[in-house]
Amino acid sequence: MSMLAADPDVLRVGNCSGFYGDRLGAMREMLEGGELDVLTGDYLAELTMLILGRDRMKDPRLGYAKTFVRQLEDCLGLALERGVRIVTNAGGLNPSGLADRLRTLAAERALAPKIAYVDGDDLLERANELGFGAPLTANAYLGAWGIAECLHAGADIVVTGRVTDASVVVGPAAAHFGWGRTDYDQLAGAVVAGHVIECGTQATGGNFAFFTELADLGRPGFPVAEIRRDGSSVITKHAGTGGAVTVDTVAAQLMYEIQDARYAGPDVTARLDSIELTELGPDRVSISAVTGEPPPPRLKVSLNTLGGFRNAMEFVLTGLDIEAKAALAQRQLESWLPARPEELSWTLARLDRPDADTEEQASALLRCVVRDCDPNKVGRAFSSVAVELALASYPGCSFTTLPGNGSPYGVYTPGFVDAALVAHRAVLADGTQRLIAPSSETRELAAVDPVELPKPLPTGETRRVPLGTVALARSGDKGGNANIGVWVRTEAQWRWLVHTLTVERLRRLLPETEAHTITRHVLPNLRAVNFIIEGLLGKGVAYQARFDPQAKGLGEWLRSRHLEIPVELLP
């Protein structure tokens, strides 16, 4: 067992990055702001893997998160001075390259940190034999045990490739507490803590539905998880930082990008329906009672391919006859194109209002998006033709975009591979290599037994108001699917919500979901329902099937919709 903290029963794990592009100064803020044992950063997302893949195509030495290097250029000495271990997935597609870059950086500063890395997730060279075709990137989601192995051997910094987001928290906890591979409840507790802090300030008030309740959201502090030996944890933040940690801000992050009550990973399947949240005091929320099950036998694989080329032009339509103006522009452009692209779609956003006081408020936006494998069809042959309409189309014709060439877009596809076929490897600071065996005990994922619902609220007086008057929500993306988690604060509100917000009601409230398969999952401990809307985001975020390609605002759209709510439930 490798102790990472002075306290054998508590490990303080902070986060300083929720995505590639997050606050650059967060690492210094976390190191200077309070006590930490481990500092983690999450830099990888489905879109990020595509970005890093294109970086690697240009320069094989790249493929990692360059902003992490900039952070360590500023903070490496400080982290070593304070004895804080750093664990991050910033290695992306090239963890060994990042480790080499950090060693050079350290030598330039006359520092000697022990730098280890974890790889084996990259399946690109074997993609065809594994049945994945010829993608740009192919990476299995590894777990926490390679990280733990590096920390056991004394690493100060551990960089990884594509591990699950929570693994950068689970690995240090497993190393510190000496957990075994079948300590499922403890591992599941750490997974939940990791899921809460992985997206940085989303746990401390960022993207929070009831944000107007928070006194100080000017610059939210990054979260800290105080993990206990039994797998329970307390979510908090450094004193004096902005934002807040409450049951609802924690619940909001728990609802982000989840599926059903079983949250599967390579080391353990955490039961989200077992979680108990308790507010202990200002900015302190405990997570307890989490139960775990053996992980599934297959690992998820992130596959990115180049889908073709994409371009868009946006017309401004002002004043009267908006629909007729849009129809004319569409008819003209489609007939003037020398060759029709494979995909051509139109969206009319009616942002205009009658008798408007400003020209902007009198205007609507008409957007045309084209995609094709041939870059010529979506390049100037498309955008220049659109501009040619400027003096020949509807009155007041203008554009928000300039003509230009198309740009390549990616397509994300999830895959699965037998864990035994993936060579999970820890490369220690001295160069020693250790292979990490897959879990010996696994369990196929199965649907959770139906939940017994509470009795419906008795019929009474209602008022037609927005759902968000009483309900909070958080939405996000998983490939082409979107999720919306909705929850309420009181038992009476829960009795109303769970019987009211059905799949059928969701379809009526969000007509854009009508053609899609929707599944609802019930999480009574969180007074929450989670909806999975399949295919709403097309082929993933890089495909940009809709103007909100990551479904970030989908939950807020739902909260803005009006329905009859019992008066007794209203604030």
Provide DSSP, 335-385.
HH-SS--SEEEEEEE----TT-SSTGGGEEEEEEEEEESSTTTTTHHHHHH
pLDDT at 569: 98
pLDDT at 313: 97
Nearest to 474 by CA among 530, 547, 535: 530
Which portions of the chain are predicted below pLDDT 50?
none
Which residues share a beta bridge with 475? 484
- Identify the structural domains of the chain with CATH numbers, from first to last: 10-296 (no CATH), 303-411 (3.30.70.380), 462-569 (no CATH)
Model pTM score: 0.94
**Per residue in 402-440, pLDDT tens?**
999 999 998 999 999 999 999 999 999 999 999 999 999
Query: Is residue 244 within 8 Å of 236, Cβ to Cβ?
Result: no
Query: Is residue 267 within 8 Å of 245, Cβ to Cβ?
Result: no
Classify residue 212 as exposed, middle or buried by CB count within 10 Å of its CB (0-12, 13-18, 19+): exposed
Structure-token pair, residue 119: 């790889």
pLDDT at 1: 54
- Structure-token match 């940009």, residue found: 544
Which residues share a beta bridge with 242? 220
pLDDT at 359: 97
Query: Is residue 37 within 8 Å of 244, Cβ to Cβ?
Result: no
Q: Is the dihedral of CA 227, 228, 232, 234 positive or negative?
A: negative
